[in-house]
């Protein structure tokens, strides 16, 4: 099974996390110059790891000509399958919206030029949705660019936007939390051919691992939870989500 979004280089021992719970592949997200280099290095070392490269919206202080040149160079690496994660984040007091928007638009353009999907991060403070609405506004100018709405929040407006533009929706461990009713409703509604599962490891560990560092193999807990939500066999959902991961990231089909 494939974990479509993890930060493998954040783990103390990345190699040990690669073969747990039947995990067969993972996409390591490189959302800063340093982590992009790390992600590519791990993808070069391990055949079951692929990388994305980009600039996280909370790391825009690193934006500039040198950063962009390095990420654009790494984006051409054959083990790089996506751009990002990029997007908008209003969680912190010092949100730099103009810088985030500039980096977001640049990465959308890079994704278009390289023929890769853009992995989108969006986060608001509790009870607010300015970042969600901002992402909807930006995406209206890029109707044909493939995108993955990572760690999808369940926001109704972004759900409608994503469905209209054939986005893929990534569901992480927070889908399993008791209070995550909006996320769970979205996990029921998203068409099966656009549903992905992810960990965002080492963050957002799912029940029954909540409160502990997350690991890529724990994606199985999230998949089992969504399968139960939808009344599906977990094995069948695994086949579907793995097929979706291969399709959006253009990953090779495993040989028998």
Question: Hey, how many other C-beta atoms are within 10 angstroms of the C-beta on 103?
Answer: 24
Give Cβ neighbours of residue 85 (< 8 Å, ≥ 6 apart): 5, 29, 31, 52, 54, 56, 119, 120, 121, 150
**Domain harbouring 8, CATH code:** 3.20.20.140
Question: Which pLDDT does position 256 carry in this prediction?
Answer: 59
Average pLDDT over residues 6-28: 92
Average pLDDT over residues 94-122: 96
d(CA 87, CA 108): 9
* pLDDT score of 129 more than 80: yes
| Structural domain includes residue 256 | no
| Structural domain includes residue 224 | yes
Quick one: 186 exposed, middle or buried, by C-beta within 10 A (0-12, 13-18, 19+)?
A: buried
CA atoms within 13 A on the CB side of 115: 5
Tell me the per-residue pLDDT of 169-216, one tens digit each, with 9 for 90 and over: 999 999 999 999 999 999 999 999 999 999 999 999 999 999 999 999
Question: Which pLDDT does position 98 carry in this prediction?
Answer: 95
Average pLDDT over residues 5-12: 96
| Structural domain includes residue 178 | yes
Model confidence at 104, pLDDT cuts 50, 70, 90, reads: very high
| Structural domain includes residue 255 | no
Question: Which pLDDT does position 101 carry in this prediction?
Answer: 97
Q: Are 39 and 52 in contact (CB under 8 A)?
A: yes
Tell me the per-residue pLDDT of 135-165, one tens digit each, with 9 for 90 and over: 999 999 999 999 999 999 999 999 999 999 9
| Structural domain includes residue 152 | yes
Tell me the per-residue pLDDT of 59-90, one tens digit each, with 9 for 90 and over: 999 999 999 999 999 999 999 999 999 999 99
Phi, psi of 94 (to 5 degrees): -100, 35
Count how many domains the chain has.
1
**Read out DSSP for the chain?**
-EEEEE-GGGSS-GGGGTTSTT--EEEEEE-SHHHHHHHHHHHHH-TTEEEEE---GGGGGG-SHHHHHHHHHHTTSTTEEEEEEEEEE--STT--HHHHHHHHHHHHHHHHHHT-PEEEEEE--TT--HHHHHHHHHHTT-TTS-EEETT----HHHHHHHHHTT-EEEE-GGGGSTT-HHHHHHHHHS-GGGEEE---TTSSPPTTSTTS---GGGHHHHHHHHHHHHT--HHHHHHHHHHHHHHHHTPPPPP-
| Structural domain includes residue 182 | yes
Tell me the per-residue pLDDT of 131-143, one tens digit each, with 9 for 90 and over: 999 999 999 999 9
Q: What is the mean pLDDT of the chain?
A: 96
Question: Which pLDDT does position 105 carry in this prediction?
Answer: 98
User: Can you give the residue range of the structural domain that contains 190?
Assistant: 2-249
d(CA 209, CA 212): 6
């Amino acid at each position: 099974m494939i974990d479509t979004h993890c930060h493998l280089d954040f783990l103390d021992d990345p190699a040990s996390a690669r073969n747990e719970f039947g995990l067969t592949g993972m996409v390591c997200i490189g959302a800063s110059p340093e982590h992009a280099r790390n992600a590519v290095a791990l993808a070069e070392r391990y055949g079951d790891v692929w990388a994305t490269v980009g600039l996280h919206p909370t790391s825009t202080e690193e934006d500039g000509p040198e950063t962009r040149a390095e990420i654009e160079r790494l984006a051409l690496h054959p083990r790089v399958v996506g751009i990002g994660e990029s997007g908008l984040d209003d969680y912190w007091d010092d949100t730099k919206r103009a810088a985030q928007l500039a980096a977001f638009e640049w990465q959308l353009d890079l994704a278009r030029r390289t023929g890769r999907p853009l992995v989108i991060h969006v986060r608001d403070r509790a009870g607010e949705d300015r970042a969600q609405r901002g992402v909807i506004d930006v995406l209206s100018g890029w109707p044909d660019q493939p995108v993955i709405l990572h760690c999808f929040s369940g926001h109704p407006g972004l759900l409608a936007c994503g469905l209209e533009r054939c986005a893929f929706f990534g569901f992480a461990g927070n889908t399993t939390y008791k209070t995550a009713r909006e996320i769970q409703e979205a996990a029921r509604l998203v068409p099966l051919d656009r549903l992905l599962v992810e960990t965002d490891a080492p963050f957002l560990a799912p029940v029954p691992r909540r409160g502990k560092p997350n690991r890529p193999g724990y994606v199985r807990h999230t998949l089992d939870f969504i399968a139960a939500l939808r009344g599906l066999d977990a094995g069948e959902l695994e086949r579907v989500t793995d097929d979706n991961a291969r399709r959006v990231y253009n990953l090779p089909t495993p040989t028998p």
